[in-house]
Every structure is written in C-alpha cells, then in structure tokens.
Structure 1
Amino acid sequence: MDLGTVIRELRLTHGWSQGRLAAKLREVSQHATITREDVSRWERGKRTPGAFWLRHLATVLEVPLTALEADPVKRRTFLTDVAALSIAPAAASDLIEHGFAAALSKRPTLDHWHEKLAAYGSDYMALGAAEIQRRLASDLVVLQQQLDTSGMWGVAAKLMTLYGKTFPGADGSKAVNWYMMATHAADRSDDDTARVWVRGRAAIALGYEGASLSVAESLANQALAISEKPSLGRLNALVGKAHIAAIRGDAKGALTLLEEGRRVFDVSGSEEQESDYAVPLWRMNVFTSLLAARLGDERTALTAQEVATQNLPPSLPRFATHLEMHRGLMMVRSGDRPGGISYARAALNELPAEKHSLTLRMLMAEIENC
C-alpha cells in the first residue's frame, strides 16, 4: 500500500474530509499554510509529505510514525508486526474448554485473583507480550463468569488494562477498545483508586508509544478529574499528558506536567521494583528520560538516564535498552541523525530478539523519522 493510500484510508477511518484533516494539521502544527489541496496531493501521490508533516500526520491520525514511513518495506514490516500480534492468543476450543473446566471446579476466591494480579504485574516486566496475552485470555474467560462483586470488577479492570497493553497502541480497534472496557469495569468496582489507575495507566502507555494521542489525553483528563489525591494512577496520567504535550511540540506544558508528576511521585512512588502496577524511582526516570529526549533537553535526559541505570534491577534488560535508545533519540535531536539512528539500532540489536517489544520497535521508528 502506497503512502497516499495509507493517509486516505486513515482519514476515512476517522470520518474526515480532506479539508477537516488539513484543519486538524493546522491546529496541532500551528502552521497556517497547510490546505485541503496539500492533503489531496499527498493522497494522489503528487507530493510526499516531509518529516515535519509526517510527524503531525501521525499525531492527528493517531498512529505511530512507522505506519506512515515513506519506505514501503518498512511500512509493510510494521503492518506485519501488528497483524502478527493481533492473532488470537489461543484456539477458541481451548478457551471454551478452559472456561467450562473452571466453571465446573471450585470457584476461585478474590484472594486467588489478587495473587494472580500480582503475578501478572511481575511477569509483564520480563516476559513477551504474546505469552502474557495467551495466559491472560484464558484467565479472563474464567474471571468474566465471576463478576458479581465490586472487588471482582476491580481485579478485572486491571487485568483488562494489562491485556490491552499486549496490543500495539496504534491498533486503535484493539488496544484502545480494551482500555475503554477496562474503564467501565473500574467504574463498576466503586473504587476511585482503581478508576484513576486504569485511566492513568492507559494514558501513559499510549503517550509513551506516541499513539492514539486524543484517546490518551481524554483518559488522562478523566483520571485527573476523578480524584486529586496523590496516587500511581494520577502520576501515570500526568506523565502521560506530559508525553502528549512533548509530541505535539508544547515543551512548556510538558515540563509543567512533569514537575507536577514529580510532586505526586514524591508522595506515592513505589517500593516494589518489578511490577507493572508500580512506579519505582528507576521507572519514573525512564519516563523522564524519554520525555527529555523528545524535547531535546540533554541535561535532564542524561540525569534521568543515570538515576534509572543506577536503580534498574538487572533482571529487566528490556528497560536498559529503552534508556540506550533514548540516548539515540537525543543524538538525533542534537543534529547527529546518522549517529543517533546507528546507536539506537545497535542497542536494540543487542537485546535478544525474544525480548523485543512493539513499543521498542515504535521507538526505533520514532528515532528514524525524527
């Protein structure tokens, strides 16, 4: 599929005219010269959008830059990756069998599900998305039969959020749909902490990936409106909004949100080091590292990378790769594009292939297209 066709199909998915897309681009880029005729030329292949417009097209159309990569080979690779992860995690017959076997056996208690929740939080940090997806699919089939108390809805909301994270944020029909269902589940838990956490976690996941930014912003705003109490959910929402602001070019807004996030972290940061449901010191600095690299703030980025590296558990090499790739992005931002791309690619290649994630691939694409 050529780039013009991709732009047109994404535009039509949003239900927009060429003029509406041009208006959206003017809004986010603060560049008044883009017109409907420019969009038409792109879609007809008469002109190719440059790096500046590719970035803003990705923001407006809510896809990673890779999906708009001008190189058809790279774009095809990305779409193949998305398709591969979207394959059903287990055969339908196996899931049905598992569900009935659980229904015929002793009903798992709420304590059992809380233990499962804790285990998934730890496993997600080290295992690949495909394995987590398969296991979660089986457990969610069982759990959905037990959603008769607010406590069960709270567990379901967190597991559904984690399940959504096993799909790329750019696949708006899957990741975002799971995040939205998780918010409804959290609302049925009558637990504001869970309601804020689910929305905040989804916001930072999408913001870090640079995907579905309008959805991410909406979820973050909902989280912040539910409660002003310092919590991990509020922290995630603030940092998610900071990344959205950075991607949109609002450096002042991004730094203001980050500073507010740091104040929340000082109160609610985690002692737990290896759980997706925690934000310890090293993880807060991974978030800060990417944000500063996106803004071209070398001093802040280097400080965050140093603190994160010093505190990162050795059992989590994937996050060390994130930090190295942030350095590559920083090099590109400072003007050394070939050197930065080479540095980031080398860091990614050093990580065993089975530990690669779609988030890392999307980060690589962001660096290449910066």
Structure 2
Amino acid sequence: MGAMTPENFPALLRRLRTGRGWSQARLAEVLCSASGRPTVTRHDVSRWERGKRVPRAWLPYLAEVFGVPRERLELATVTETGPEPSETLASLLPPGDALAPLSVRNGRKVGQSTAVDLAARAHGLRLADDVLAGGDLVGPVFRELDAAVRVLRESTHTDEVRRELLRAVAELAQIAGWTASDAADPRTEATYRLGLDAAREAGDGTLAAQLAGSLGYHLVNNGRVPEGAALSVAAVAEAGPDAPGKTRALFHDRAAWALTQAGDAQAAMRSLGEAHEALEEDAGDSPDWAYWVNAAELEVMDARVYTELRRPLRAVPLLTRVLRDYPVTSTRERALYESWLAVAYADANEPEEAARVAGHVIALSGDVASARTSGRVRVVLSRLAEYRAVPEVRDVLESVQPGPSSC
C-alpha cells in the first residue's frame, strides 16, 4: 500500500471545524477568546479554508482549541504554496489605517482607542516577524512607525493618552529596529534610540530596558562589543528586580550573549543562570512583546553561548532537542539556530555532521531575506574550511562557490 498523502491545511482546518459542529463565525469567536485578541473574523476563517492565506501566527491557538499537536498543523501548511509576504502581513495587522486619526485635520484630538489600535498594530508586526524576514518587513514596519510618530506629534490628547501613544511608538520602534538590523538597514541604531527615548518619557522602565537591550544586542553583533555589552548589562539594571519574570529572563540572556562576545565567560554563565531563575519566577504578568520567551528559547541562548565558548558537548544536545520541536514555519530562526549546531559539530570534531547541518542552513537561508542568516552562513563556511579534505565538507564548500561565467 502506498503512503497516504498528508492532508493539506485548508482541508484539515475544515474537517476539524465541522467535526466540532462549529460555523466559521463560531471558530473565529473561539480563537478570539483563546488568544485574547479580537482580531479574527468569519471572513479570515473562510480565507484560510479556501487556501487564500496561511494563518501561521494562529497555529498555536488552533492547536489549543482543537486539541491537536501544533506540529500536525505545521506539516499541513508546508505542503501548501505560502502566501506572499504582503498577504501574511495583511492577515496579522488590524484593519484600517494607522493615520486615520489625522485624516480630518491636523491637531485632531485622539483618545485611548487610538493608542490601543497602534499597540495592536505593533503586535501584529511582531507576529509577522515570526514568519517573515527583515527584507520583507522593513518597508511596512517603518511606514507604521512613521505613522505612529505623526499621530503622536500632530494630534492633541490628554497626558494619559500621550503616555500610551509614547508606549506604542516605543514598541513600534523596537520591532522596526529589530527588522532593520535583520535587513542590514542603516536606520537601526537611530530607530532603537527613538524608541528608548519614547519608553523613558512614557515612564515604562521595562520597555526601556527592552529597547536598550535590543540596541546592545545589535551593537555587539556589529563589532561594537564593549559599547553593546555595557548597554546590555545596563538594560538589566534599568528593568530592575520587579520587572516581569519573562522580561528579566530576556534581558539576562542578552547580557549573557554580550558578555560572551566581550570575553567574560564567568559573567556570561552567571547571566544564563539568572535568566532561567527569572523565567521560573514569571507570574504571567509579562507584556505582549515578551510572548515568545520560554524555556526552549533560553536553551537556544545557552547553546549559543556554549558554542562560542567552544563547549560543544553542552551545545549539541541542547540545540538538537530544541530544533526537534521547533516550528518548521520559522525559517529564519531555524537557519540561525542550526548554524550554531553546525559550528558545534565542527568543534566536536564531527565534520560529517557539521557538513550535513551546514547544507540545511544554506538551503534555508536561500529562502529568507535576512542579513543575520547570510552572516551566519559565512561563519559556518569559515569554520568548516579546516575540514576541506573531508568529502562531505568539500561538497558543501564547493556548492556555494560561484560557477564559471557564461558571458
């Protein structure tokens, strides 16, 4: 008997929904309740079931409400032709125009609902970053940020609304800075600093620490290690001990990475331990922008630090375990994390395994517009060069060499 063809996503979703006796409108209501975000409509569900869009950011909630493994849903999506980046982004952003509050006249008064809408748009962009690379997102993200800054500057509002608008601008600046860094866009540092100023003016120390830590991470990864390390460590202090556990875990993790690059291995290891302790203390009060911080992501940073410190026997098991369950739709992150696994295998004197993983990293990186993945491919190839005599390694190295000119 031949192998059964995997069920595609529209068919699977339709079967799961009708099996519960739910209408498309009912499924939309259930998803809104499960996610806490009233942004799914019957029309969204209809588009998913017609194959017009793939709701990648909603897969965890679909898995929850139907009681099926998330991996099963992901397998169904990868057999489909994915939507264009613009379609994915449109499915995640709330409907409407970020500049709508200014559409009547300059100086129009705006209220709390405008700030809430801008914050929702920031969160939609964060979800889009889970499945799209910087090169796909950088233009739309900066348009959203510019619109939010215009609303802040050109509208009138109460002091309370101003604080919320400032917070929304800071959140948009963080995702814009992150996206710009991934796209190697020169606006990265200025954007992070804009967001940092906005967060501080809003009086949100945790969000300010997020911006400071993000900027420190960018500086470290772009050769300004002492400055970036100092900023990453300062971000931990700016957040303070009363910040939500998930956020403190994130800040400690970034400090660990920066300290590793600065050559302070002992301080880096202490920061890794503090990150895990902070996550254990999480009380469920974290802001929306920390939704992705979990034990698996901390283990990835553990493994990255171990790899940089040439401790492959610690790094390989961690990365192997995390990648086994990591979403196949997060192409950029898989490419990045597997790049550290390839280097760790090389450090463990396992060039054949390093070559196998490196080949997958190269294949994944070709599908994403990310300067980060391109940079990691160069690192992996450089590390493999000393094993060129190994046939598997030689094949990988030769696969990326430019062929003879046809001119």
**What's the TM-score bracket when you normalise by the shorter of the two chains?**
0.5 to 0.7
Pairing of 1:133-212 with structure 2 (within 5 A): 133-147=138-152, 149-168=162-181, 173-207=186-220, 209=221, 211-212=223-224
Report Cα offsets for 1:97-125 as digits up to 9, x if no partner. x8877621596611211211221111011
For residues 99 and 366 of structure 1, what CA distance do their matches in structure 2 show? Answer: 40
Work out whether residues 121 and 277 of structure 1, in 8 Å CA contact, stay in contact via their aligned partners in 2.
no
For residues 120 and 252 of structure 1, what CA distance do their matches in structure 2 show? Answer: 36
Pairing of 1:32-71 with structure 2 (within 5 A): none
For residue 183 of structure 1, give the secondary structure of its aligned residue in structure 2.
Answer: helix
> Residue type matched to 2:102 in 1?
A
For residue 268 of structure 1, give the secondary structure of its aligned residue in structure 2.
Answer: coil
For residues 319 and 150 of structure 1, what CA distance do their matches in structure 2 show? Answer: 33
Partner of 2:338: 324
> Residue type matched to 1:162 in 2?
I
> Residue type matched to 1:254 in 2?
A
For residue 355 of structure 1, give the secondary structure of its aligned residue in structure 2.
Answer: coil
- Pick 1 or 2: higher relative contact order, CA cutoff 8 A, min separation 6: 1
For residues 101 and 362 of structure 1, what CA distance do their matches in structure 2 show? Answer: 39
- Percent identity between matched residues is 14
For residue 328 of structure 2, give the secondary structure of its aligned residue in structure 1.
Answer: coil
Partner of 1:252: 266
For residues 306 and 313 of structure 1, what CA distance do their matches in structure 2 show? Answer: 14
User: How large is the Cα RMSD of the aligned pairs?
Assistant: 3.2
Q: Aligned pair in 2 of structure 1 residues 134, 102: CA closer, same or farther (>3 Å)? A: farther
Partner of 1:41: none
Partner of 1:110: 115
For residues 308 and 283 of structure 1, what CA distance do their matches in structure 2 show? Answer: 8
> Residue type matched to 1:113 in 2?
L
Work out whether residues 251 and 295 of structure 1, in 8 Å CA contact, stay in contact via their aligned partners in 2.
yes
Matched, 1:119 2:124: yes
Q: Aligned pair in 2 of structure 1 residues 143, 133: CA closer, same or farther (>3 Å)? A: same
For residues 269 and 284 of structure 1, what CA distance do their matches in structure 2 show? Answer: 17
Deviation at 1:188, TM superposition (A): 1.0
Matched, 1:342 2:355: yes
Work out whether residues 117 and 159 of structure 1, in 8 Å CA contact, stay in contact via their aligned partners in 2.
yes
Q: Aligned pair in 2 of structure 1 residues 339, 321: CA closer, same or farther (>3 Å)? A: same
For residues 319 and 354 of structure 1, what CA distance do their matches in structure 2 show? Answer: 12
For residues 194 and 317 of structure 1, what CA distance do their matches in structure 2 show? Answer: 27
Deviates more, 1:289-298 or 1:274-283: 274-283
Pairing of 1:265-344 with structure 2 (within 5 A): 265-268=279-282, 278-335=292-349, 339=352, 342-344=355-357
Deviation at 1:355, TM superposition (A): 2.0
For residue 299 of structure 1, give the secondary structure of its aligned residue in structure 2.
Answer: helix
Which protein shows a greater Rg? 2
Work out whether residues 313 and 348 of structure 2, in 8 Å CA contact, stay in contact via their aligned partners in 1.
no
For residue 168 of structure 1, give the secondary structure of its aligned residue in structure 2.
Answer: helix
Partner of 2:134: 129
For residues 166 and 309 of structure 1, what CA distance do their matches in structure 2 show? Answer: 23
Deviation at 1:268, TM superposition (A): 3.1
Q: Aligned pair in 2 of structure 1 residues 163, 172: CA closer, same or farther (>3 Å)? A: closer
For residues 100 and 230 of structure 1, what CA distance do their matches in structure 2 show? Answer: 32
Deviation at 1:311, TM superposition (A): 4.1
Partner of 2:21: none
Work out whether residues 110 and 152 of structure 1, in 8 Å CA contact, stay in contact via their aligned partners in 2.
yes
* Unaligned segments of structure 2, at least 5 residues: 1-96, 384-407
Work out whether residues 121 and 276 of structure 1, in 8 Å CA contact, stay in contact via their aligned partners in 2.
no
TM-score, with structure 2 as normaliser? 0.58
Deviation at 1:348, TM superposition (A): 2.1
For residues 176 and 307 of structure 2, what CA distance do their matches in structure 1 show? Answer: 28
Deviation at 1:351, TM superposition (A): 1.4
For residues 352 and 276 of structure 1, what CA distance do their matches in structure 2 show? Answer: 26
For residues 295 and 326 of structure 2, what CA distance do their matches in structure 1 show? Answer: 9
Task: State the number of aligned residues.
Answer: 270
Q: Aligned pair in 2 of structure 1 residues 366, 340: CA closer, same or farther (>3 Å)? A: farther
Deviation at 1:361, TM superposition (A): 1.5
> Residue type matched to 2:230 in 1?
S
